[in-house]
């Protein structure tokens, strides 16, 4: 397992190119199962989860090719013949997002057998709402031997009301509904940019979807979908992570190929604590790719933060915000409303000198506290990002273990950071 050795105390200065959104690319890859035509996806990030999803598609008998482009990577997928309906435990256990093949397989084949995703460090993360929705569309769903077995002659459109807002639940059912007979209405649907990006791809494939960006999505089923070309939106969480990196090191970064409209809550909160953020001309290509200039000078003001579904402050930025809040003057009360156990990074930040008290869904961060380099352990993707950010600001050397977590969602993050002044080395532990 690799680890990062980080020499803290270097302010970051320069330009960073933000990659495509992992959480938009994953459902887009699953959508290719809905048709036998060619799907061409641009601005694909080369992160571990994408490679895992490619392996899963390969296991389903679907070939894909990934080639490097000037900006990002191009992934071509074509499920020429009906895919194999079984997504086995070995791959699903590596990545919960594998559950996104369930809806498309069921819609295309009338049958799917997908391993139940296990638990996860940040919470139980059940998929009951995915399954309840598929049953509402007429599927018979059984769970046995750790697998979900779903069957249906043809899905029939119906009204689906989500008890809680679920991103991949909305995506799974939206994909399934595109080939159902009749109209499906999803109520209390997720409105994250990644959900909207998937809908844009499905519409390009010939799906009939209304209500994009609203909690009520209407899908009129069609008999078949065509091929399409689509460019994945920028990764708003990678952008937010680098914004905190600029701030916490007292640095100055310009982030190219971002979409500021997807970051309004993050920009507002960072500005509230005293980070200077401006939209500037990007070096990237056309519309949807702008640049953000970010400067920070610790200490910052303290500010409370509550994670919420989009357009609120994203839960995937909570750990990164907590690292910055350790440099805020006063108490910042953080409330995590989405997942029940997403404070594992707090204990590791405390080992670096942070003053954090966790009580259920609330964490109180008192600052500013000087951070000192330490050996710390990553537990999940965004927690590991938080530890890297703290290591950049800490006095002395930090060693972050289990960086395979961070590789799941960030493309060679240490190379991007070193290019703008960080001192990080990746050490393979065999």
List the catalytic residues.
Answer: 120
Contact 74, 38 (CB under 8 A): no
Tell me how far, at minimum, the Cβ of 315 lies from ligand EPZ, in Å: 5
In which residue are the tokens 């990553």 written?
A: 378
Nearer to ligand EPZ, 282 or 315 (CB): 315
Nearer to ligand EPZ, 369 or 411 (CB): 411
Residue 378 class from Cβ within 10 Å (0-12 exposed, 13-18 middle, 19+ buried)?
Answer: buried
Contact 180, 34 (CB under 8 A): no
Nearer to ligand EPZ, 285 or 308 (CB): 308
Tell me how far, at minimum, the Cβ of 301 lies from ligand EPZ, in Å: 26
Contact 202, 217 (CB under 8 A): no
Residue 162 CB neighbours (<10 A): 19
Nearer to ligand EPZ, 92 or 338 (CB): 338
Q: How far is CA 338 from CA 173, 269, 309, 315, in A?
A: 20, 18, 8, 7
Tell me how far, at minimum, the Cβ of 36 lies from ligand EPZ, in Å: 25
How far apart CA 332 and CA 44 sit, in angstroms, is 36
Q: How far is CA 183 from CA 32, 159, 358, in A?
A: 21, 8, 46
CB burial of 96-133 (b: ≥16 within 10 Å; e: otherwise) equals bbbbbbbbbbbbbbbebbbbbbeeeebeebebebbbbb
The set of residues, in sequence order, having a beta carbon less than 8 Å from that of 144 and lying 6+ positions away, is none
Three-state secondary structure call for residue 30: helix
Contact 82, 109 (CB under 8 A): yes
Measured between its terminal Cα atoms, the distance across the chain in Å is 6
Nearer to ligand EPZ, 108 or 130 (CB): 130
Nearer to ligand EPZ, 173 or 420 (CB): 173
Tell me how far, at minimum, the Cβ of 331 lies from ligand EPZ, in Å: 25
How far apart CA 354 and CA 360 sit, in angstroms, is 18
Residue 347 class from Cβ within 10 Å (0-12 exposed, 13-18 middle, 19+ buried)?
Answer: middle
Tell me how far, at minimum, the Cβ of 170 lies from ligand EPZ, in Å: 8
Q: Which residues are near ligand EPZ by CB under 6 A? A: 23, 26, 96-97, 123-130, 164, 166-169, 194, 315-316, 338-339, 381-382, 409
Tell me how far, at minimum, the Cβ of 237 lies from ligand EPZ, in Å: 7
Nearer to ligand EPZ, 164 or 375 (CB): 164
For residue 195, report the phi and psi dihedrals to the nearest 5 degrees.
-70, -40
Nearer to ligand EPZ, 47 or 152 (CB): 47
How far apart CA 97 and CA 52 sit, in angstroms, is 10
Tell me how far, at minimum, the Cβ of 14 lies from ligand EPZ, in Å: 26
Tell me how far, at minimum, the Cβ of 24 lies from ligand EPZ, in Å: 8
């Amino acid at each position: 397992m690799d680890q990062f050795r980080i020499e803290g105390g270097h302010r970051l200065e320069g330009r960073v190119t933000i990659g495509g959104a992992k959480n938009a690319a994953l459902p887009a890859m699953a959508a290719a199962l809905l048709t036998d035509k060619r799907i061409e996806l641009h601005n694909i990030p080369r992160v571990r989860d994408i490679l895992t999803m490619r392996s899963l598609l390969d296991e389903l008998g679907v070939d894909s090719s990934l080639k490097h482009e000037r900006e990002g990577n191009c992934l071509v997928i074509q499920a020429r013949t009906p895919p194999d309906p079984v997504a086995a435990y070995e791959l699903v256990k590596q990545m919960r997002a594998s559950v996104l093949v369930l809806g498309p397989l069921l819609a295309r084949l009338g049958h799917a057998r997908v391993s139940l995703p296990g638990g996860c460090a940040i919470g139980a993360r059940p998929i009951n709402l995915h399954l309840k929705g598929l049953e509402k569309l007429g599927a018979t769903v059984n769970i046995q031997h750790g697998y979900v077995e779903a069957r249906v002659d043809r899905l029939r459109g119906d009204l689906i009301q989500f008890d809680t807002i679920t991103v991949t639940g909305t995506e799974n059912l939206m994909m399934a509904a595109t080939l159902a007979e009749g109209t499906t209405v999803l109520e209390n649907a997720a409105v994250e940019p990644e959900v909207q990006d998937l809908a844009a791809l499905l519409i390009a494939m010939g799906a009939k979807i209304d209500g994009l960006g609203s909690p009520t999505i209407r899908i009129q089923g069609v008999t078949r979908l065509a091929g399409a070309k689509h460019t994945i939106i920028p990764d708003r969480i990678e952008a937010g992570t680098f914004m905190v990196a600029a701030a916490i090191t007292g640095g100055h970064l310009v982030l190219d190929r971002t979409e500021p409209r997807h970051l309004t809550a993050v920009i507002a909160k960072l500005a509230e604590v005293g980070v200077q953020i401006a939209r500037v001309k990007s070096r990237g290509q056309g519309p949807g790719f702008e640049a953000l200039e970010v400067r920070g000078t610790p200490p910052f003001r303290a500010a409370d933060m509550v994670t919420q579904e989009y357009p609120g402050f994203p839960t995937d930025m909570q750990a990164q915000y907590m690292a910055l809040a350790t440099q805020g003057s006063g108490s910042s009360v953080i409330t995590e409303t989405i997942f029940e156990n997403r404070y594992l990074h707090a204990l590791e930040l405390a080992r670096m000198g942070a003053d954090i008290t966790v009580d259920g869904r609330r964490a109180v961060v008192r600052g500013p506290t000087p951070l000192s380099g330490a050996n710390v352990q990553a537990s999940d993707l965004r927690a590991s990002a938080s530890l890297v950010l703290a290591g950049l600001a800490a006095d002395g050397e930090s060693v972050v273990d289990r960086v395979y977590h961070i590789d799941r969602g960030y493309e060679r993050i240490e190379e991007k950071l070193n290019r703008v002044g960080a001192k990080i080395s990746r050490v393979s532990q065999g």
